[in-house]
Amino acid sequence: MNDTAPETKTRVPWPLAALATWLLPGLGHWLIGERQRGAIVGITLVGMFLVGLIVGGIDVVDQRRDPLWFAGQVMIGPLGVGTAFYHRHLDRVGLPSPPPPAPAYEVSVGRINELGTLYCTLAGVLNLMVILDAAGRADQVGRSRKQPLGGRPQRT
Amino acid sequence: MSSITLALFTLTSAWTPFLQPLGLKRPDNALVLILPLVFAIALTYKTLKLESLDRLLVETCRLSVYIMALIALAAGVLYVVVEWV
């Protein structure tokens, strides 16, 4: 089960690992060879975000009315950004005009809204931690390139 | 229309996931959702922290219990402050 075997690690520039993790949680770890670690954090964080949306509805990702919460949610990557764009699209669709259309979505309130927002925001904030970890690990692999990973430095 | 189809129709027409919030008759019960949230936080943290993932589940459960205990303690302290101070 140990996926941290040194010989499986691949050299990836740390900005690429960080960007990949932002695009899809866990992808950075996957690229540097820590696939099991990447799969676990990816499934967990995307799952957290989706559970947040299921609990509170799309209303919990609101760029205009909850900008501070959105700052955390955007860390989950295109999933958060796309949800915010779709929310804005639904807001435009649901604008009252004669004849008034039915609301495109239902606004969540109270504890349900709090929990949904918390789920989505924590998924994003935790992904920031994953991004930093992936960048750090990629940098570590890059620095130890001159010596065999996990072994003694090579004599030239 | 079979009963299963009718039940599915009723369920899907009553609640649209993502567009409607979870319909709970007693919203206070939603606090149960803190448990999977805490577990997910602990799982993510331990996945990054542990060198080997062999003891991931055990360590995650242990951290989840610690976090829940701290939340309960904080709730108790806040209750005392609000009610008695």
pLDDT in tens, A70-82: 999 999 999 999 9
Average pLDDT over residues B43-65: 96
**Is the Cβ pair B48, A110 closer than 8 Å?**
no
Query: What is the rounded CA–CA span in Å between residue A84 and residue A58?
Result: 8
> Is the ipTM, as predicted for this complex, more than 0.85?
no
- In this predicted structure, the answer to whether residue A28 has a pLDDT above a threshold of 50 is yes
- In this predicted structure, the answer to whether residue A52 has a pLDDT above a threshold of 90 is yes
Average pLDDT over residues A62-67: 90
Q: Which helix (H) or strand (E) holds B36?
A: helix B34-49
Query: What is the rounded CA–CA span in Å between residue A6 and residue B52?
Result: 12
Q: What is the pTM of this model?
A: 0.82
Query: What is the rounded CA–CA span in Å between residue A98 and residue A105?
Result: 19
What pLDDT, in 10s, does the model give residues A5-17?
444 688 889 999 9
Best interface-test mutation with A: which of B38, B48, B53 has the largest number of A CBs within 10 A? Answer: B48
**Is the Cβ pair A105, B37 closer than 8 Å?**
no
What pLDDT, in 10s, does the model give residues A80-98?
999 999 999 888 876 555 5
- Chain center to CA of A36: 17
Extract the tokens encoding A102: 């039915």
Read off the pLDDT band of A25 (50, 70, 90): very high
**Three-state DSSP class for A5?**
coil
Which member of A4, A58, A115 has the closest CB to residue B33?
A: A115
